[in-house]
Amino acid sequence: MAAPAIIACTNCGKKNRVAVVARGVPRCAVCHTPLPWIVDADAQDFADAISADVPVLVDFWAGWCAPCRMISPIVERLGREFAGRLKVVKLDVDAAPEPAARYRAQSIPLLILFRDGEEIDRLVGAVPEPQLRQWLEPHLATAGSTPSS
């Protein structure tokens, strides 16, 4: 089971533990601002990690993949920007080959967007931030807001 991520609140700076698997939207323990939900998943918790109350963007990557290292900071930046509206799950395809094979992650980086645990779209390759944003934003617009848990 992957360890919880430590995420600093974008509002007050308080460090919070954010679970890989949870319901609702993570909020700061001090100021209750929605936190960026950016976590690493492993093969054991992947199925539960993609089932969330907000859309889930999964970044299939590998440490040896230069394009993966190029797009990762963009994905994380968008995860922080869309705090409360998007969950970002990073999955190392070498460490978790079973979920990677199940979702046909043959070319990486691969970004798959899930809603309610079901794949709704995918994007292959390291694309520039404007293109990634253009692909992602329409899916977030239909997501609506989710009350905290």
Q: Of 9, 28, 31, 68, which one is the catalytic site residue?
A: 68
Q: Which residues on neighbouring strands pair with residue 124, listed in sequence order?
A: 110
Helix, strand, coil percent content, the chain, rounded in steps of 5: 25, 25, 45
- The single-letter DSSP state of residue 27 is B
Residue 28 a catalytic site member: no
Residues 6+ apart with CB under 8 A from 51: 114, 116, 117
- For tokens 């395809």, what's the residue? 93
Largest alpha-carbon pair distance within the chain? 42
The active-site residue, picked from 9, 12, 28, 65, is 65
- Tokens 């001090």 correspond to 30
- In whole angstroms, what is the distance from residue 14 CA to residue 27 CA? 11
Q: Tell me if residue 9 is catalytic.
A: no
Residues with active-site annotation: 65, 68
